[in-house]
Amino acid sequence: MEAILLIGIQGAGKSTFYKEYFFDTHVRISLDLLRTHHRERRLLAFCLETRQRFVVDKINHTAAQRAQYIAPALKAGFEPIGYFFEPDPKGSFRRNRQRAKPVPPAGLFGTLKNLEPPRYEEGFERLYRVTLAPAARRFQVSDVLS
């Protein structure tokens, strides 16, 4: 079973990536949708208990934040997989402004400042790097070498 974590700053394209690649196969755990951490924890627990594949769609910008999902996933026998969205501050800022509820610039750039790229040592089975080709509006996914 897959436990997928999307990792990147606001406006990186994480939710769009989920819709294009995982909408039909994985439950989406998103604080934007659930609105409370309590609901988020309950949905995570439900996915783990029922062995349902899931995607955590949030910034997950530090190892400590990611550990909240990786540790229980490993304990339940899931395979943690990370998709790291290569930072593109200008593109993210532009896309963020188009959101219904944009994140203030200070928040976006604060996340960028504190962004910790994921490492296999955190418990990931696989790691991928995601870039967005602006002209083609397509995602490019490549393996992260250990």
Look at 18-27, 29-38, 102-111, 122-131 and tell me which has the smallest mean pLDDT: 102-111
**Predicted confidence (pLDDT) at residue 1 exceeds the cutoff of 60:** yes
Q: What is the pLDDT of residue 136?
A: 60
What pLDDT, on the 0 to 100 scale, is given for residue 120? 97
Is the pLDDT score of 146 beyond 60?
no
Dihedral Cα 21, 26, 27, 29, nearest 10 deg? -60
Higher pLDDT, 82 or 93: 82
CATH of 2-143, one of 3.40.50.720, 3.40.109.10, 3.40.50.300, 3.40.50.620: 3.40.50.300
Mean pLDDT value across residues 35-45 = 96
pLDDT of residue 108: 79
Cα 8 to Cα 86: distance, rounded to the nearest angstrom: 7
What is the Cα–Cα distance from 34 to 25, expressed in whole angstroms? 19
Closest among 13, 113, 120 to 63, alpha carbons compared: 120
Q: Is the pLDDT of residue 145 over 80?
A: no
What is the per-residue DSSP string for 11-57? TSSHHHHHHHHTTTTSEEE-HHHH-SHHHHHHHHHHHHHHT--EEEE
Mean pLDDT of the chain: 93
Question: What are the extents of the domains in the chain?
Answer: 2-143
Residue 146 CA to residue 139 CA, distance in Å, equals 22
